[in-house]
Amino acid sequence: MMLTGLAYIPISAKSAEEVCHALQVINLRFREINAAKEEQSVSIAIEDLVAGADITDRPVYAPQRIATLFAVGILTQGAPAGIDNANTCVCVLKDGDGNAIVTKTFNTATQPATSGYSDLGTLHATNKTLAANEAVTFSVTQGATADMPAFLLILSAQVSSTT
């Protein structure tokens, strides 16, 4: 019987040893395929900030293996208030060298979702790839009346099988 992309156990296997060997090969190949394509999502709780309060370069994530981020967003736990063109809310995720991975400015036209998910946008082509144990930081800068509710910062990455 053929298992597409992996291996097969010959119908003519003459011994339990041959069957065990074939199963070991399948198991190893399955692990290699899965390890190379493992995806992880991490949720980091960010507290309810009062109007005008900021967070500056808070460490939020460090992958144990090489990782490439493919999505970054926030899941608000309430309604944002006071965000407009004069009082923006800027969210920035940076790599270990302080380079922006993604920056999102919320304003009058671009409001964060109320009790919902907001994607933070297109990730920088180079900065989104992180070395093992590279600390990623997150900043939130709010205008005087901008008031973000508590939210989850959600990072989704494809994680390598190697460090």
Q: Are residue 126 and residue 116 in the same domain, yes or no? A: yes
Q: What is the mean pLDDT of residues 101-115?
A: 97
Q: Are residue 49 and residue 93 in the same domain, yes or no? A: yes
Q: Are residue 21 and residue 62 in the same domain, yes or no? A: no
Q: Are residue 51 and residue 108 in the same domain, yes or no? A: yes
Rg (alpha carbons) of the chain, rounded to whole number: 22
Q: Are residue 30 and residue 58 in the same domain, yes or no? A: no
Contact 149, 76 (CB under 8 A): yes
- Which of 26-30, 47-51, 110-114 shows the lowest per-residue confidence on average (mean pLDDT)? 26-30
Q: Are residue 120 and residue 89 in the same domain, yes or no? A: yes
Each as own residue / partner, the long-range contacts of residues 40-45 (CB below 8 Å, 24 or more positions apart, any chain) are 40/67, 40/156, 40/157, 40/159, 41/154, 41/155, 41/156, 41/157, 42/154, 42/155, 42/156, 42/157, 43/75, 43/152, 43/153, 43/154, 44/138, 44/152, 44/153, 44/154, 44/155, 45/150, 45/152
Q: Indicate the number of domains in the chain.
A: 2
Q: Are residue 30 and residue 43 in the same domain, yes or no? A: no
Which CATH number does the domain housing residue 72 bear?
2.60.120
Q: Are residue 1 and residue 61 in the same domain, yes or no? A: no
Q: What is the mean pLDDT of residues 119-139?
A: 97
Q: The domain containing residue 2 runs over which residues?
A: 1-36
3-state secondary structure of 151: strand
Q: What is the pLDDT of residues 5-47, one digit of tens each?
A: 444 445 555 666 666 566 666 666 656 655 556 899 999 999 9
Q: Are residue 9 and residue 54 in the same domain, yes or no? A: no
What pTM value is reported for the model? Answer: 0.78
Contact 146, 82 (CB under 8 A): yes
Q: Are residue 31 and residue 47 in the same domain, yes or no? A: no
Q: Are residue 6 and residue 19 in the same domain, yes or no? A: yes
Q: Are residue 91 and residue 51 in the same domain, yes or no? A: yes
